[in-house]
């Protein structure tokens, strides 16, 4: 990712896993964005995130619980004061919850909680930060993260078309449904924000060794994030409203 492609980025859920690694690899990149805003609901609980912000002065840590309206408003104030009048180029909705829920174990509470964090929160975080994305979009042309973008970290498990055969063996009513709903949020945002020049897409990071992905996952967090960074840096108008994986392959909805 080159700094000319993205001056500022805000990521949710950065205290561990893929979010933390995104912050790390962005900060270590020779062409890093001038401003990297790493949000987490309890930043002081993450030694790794605190360490990154001490090492890299361009990494700003902001408290944001994505399901709490007051926390969103307060994070918006913090982000505005960090960015000034420049607006925000790239919002990465990464925070999520995930666990397996089969036909016997799934509860209404699992469904609602997962829907709230994984589908509703990315929409309302995006709504809150929209004025900042619009400010950035008004300052340049074309489409991509150099201008303005909303990247929803989704999952292949949210693909309705691919929930068959081997892939259907992973049972999670709550998680799969929430990511399918997130994909629809992406499509609705794409329909609404394209005319403002704000690119919107869903991105699957692969099956990654994190607390969520587990130790048997295929990819290290470093491999997944390297792939995602190349995808992010190459996005253009043709990817608006799309669903891709970390290798840049298009996925079925």
Pairing assessment for the beta strands 243-245 and 199-204 based on DSSP bridges: parallel
| Residues in binding contact with ligand NAP, number by CB under 6 A | 30
- The answer to whether residue 155 forms part of the interface with ligand NAP (CB under 6 A) is yes
- Angle of helix 121-137 relative to helix 69-83, nearest 10 degrees, comes to 20
Alpha helices in 6-87 (DSSP H): 17-28, 47-55, 69-83
Determine if 211 is a binding residue for ligand NAP (CB under 6 A). Answer: yes
Site for ligand NAP in 52-71 (CB under 6 A): 65-67
Taking CB under 6 A as the binding criterion, the range among 49-57, 96-104, 165-173, 242-250 that sits at the site for ligand NAP is: 96-104
Cβ–Cβ < 8 Å for 227, 153 = no
User: Under the criterion CB under 6 A, does residue 122 sit at the interface with ligand NAP?
Assistant: no
Range list of β-strands (E), 79-183 = 90-93, 149-153
Look at strands 59-63 and 35-40 and give their pairing.
parallel
Q: Which is nearer to ligand NAP, 5 or 20 (CB)?
A: 20
> Which one, 98 or 227, has the nearer CB to ligand NAP?
98
Rule CB under 6 A: choose which of 117, 133, 148, 198 binds ligand NAP: 117
Beta carbon of residue 21, minimum distance to ligand NAP (angstroms, whole number):
8
Query: Rounded to an integer, what distance in angstroms lies between the CA atom of residue 202 and that of residue 219?
Result: 19
Among 82, 120, 162, 217, binds ligand NAP (CB under 6 A): 217
Specify the residue, 101 or 210, whose C-beta has the smaller distance to ligand NAP: 210
Is 95 one of the binding residues for ligand NAP (CB under 6 A)? yes
With respect to ligand NAP, which residue has the nearer C-beta, 68 or 140? Answer: 68
Using the contact rule CB under 6 A, the part of the chain among 17-25, 73-81, 188-196, 241-249 near ligand NAP is 17-25
At 135, which helix (H) or strand (E)? helix 121-137
17 near ligand NAP (CB under 6 A): yes
Beta bridge partners of 90: 9, 149
Q: Per rule CB under 6 A, is residue 35 in the interface with ligand NAP? A: no
- C-alpha distances (whole Å) from 158 to each of 96, 190, 207 are 13, 18, 13
**For residue 177, how many other CB atoms are within 10 A of its CB?**
21
Q: Does 22 bind ligand NAP (CB under 6 A)?
A: no
- Do 11 and 33 contact (CB within 8 A), yes or no? no
User: Which residue in the set 210, 225, 242, 251 belongs to the binding site for ligand NAP (CB under 6 A)?
Assistant: 210
Asked whether the CA dihedral 193, 198, 201, 206 is positive or negative, the reply is negative
Parallel, antiparallel or unpaired: strands 243-245 and 35-40: unpaired
Cβ closest to ligand NAP, residue 153 vs residue 201? 153
Chain residues that interact with ligand NAP, rule: CB under 6 A: 12-13, 15-19, 40-42, 65-67, 94-98, 117, 153, 155, 204-205, 207-208, 210-213, 217
């Amino acid at each position: 990712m080159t700094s000319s492609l993205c001056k500022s980025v805000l990521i949710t859920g950065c205290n561990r896993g893929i979010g933390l690694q995104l912050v790390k690899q962005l900060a270590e990149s020779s062409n890093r964005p001038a401003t990297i805003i790493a949000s987490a609901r309890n930043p002081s609980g993450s030694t790794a995130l605190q360490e990154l912000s001490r090492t890299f002065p361009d990494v700003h840590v902001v408290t944001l619980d994505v399901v709490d309206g007051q926390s969103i408003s307060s994070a918006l104030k913090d982000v505005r004061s960090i960015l000034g009048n420049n607006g925000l180029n790239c919002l990465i909705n990464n925070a999520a919850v995930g666990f397996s829920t089969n036909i016997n174990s799934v509860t209404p509470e699992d469904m609602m909680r997962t829907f709230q964090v994984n589908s509703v929160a990315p929409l309302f975080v995006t709504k809150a930060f929209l004025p900042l994305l619009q400010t950035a979009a008004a300052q340049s042309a074309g489409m991509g993260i150099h201008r303005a973008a909303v990247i929803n970290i989704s999952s292949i498990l949210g693909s309705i078309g691919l929930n068959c055969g081997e892939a259907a063996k992973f049972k999670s009513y709550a998680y799969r449904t929430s990511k399918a709903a997130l994909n629809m949020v992406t499509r609705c945002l794409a329909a609404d924000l394209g005319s403002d020049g704000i690119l919107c897409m869903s991105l699957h990071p692969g099956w990654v060794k994190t607390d969520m992905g587990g130790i048997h996952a295929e990819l290290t967090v470093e491999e997944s994030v390297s792939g995602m960074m190349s995808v992010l840096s190459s996005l253009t108008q043709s990817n608006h409203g799309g669903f891709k994986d970390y290798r840049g392959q298009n996925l079925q909805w």
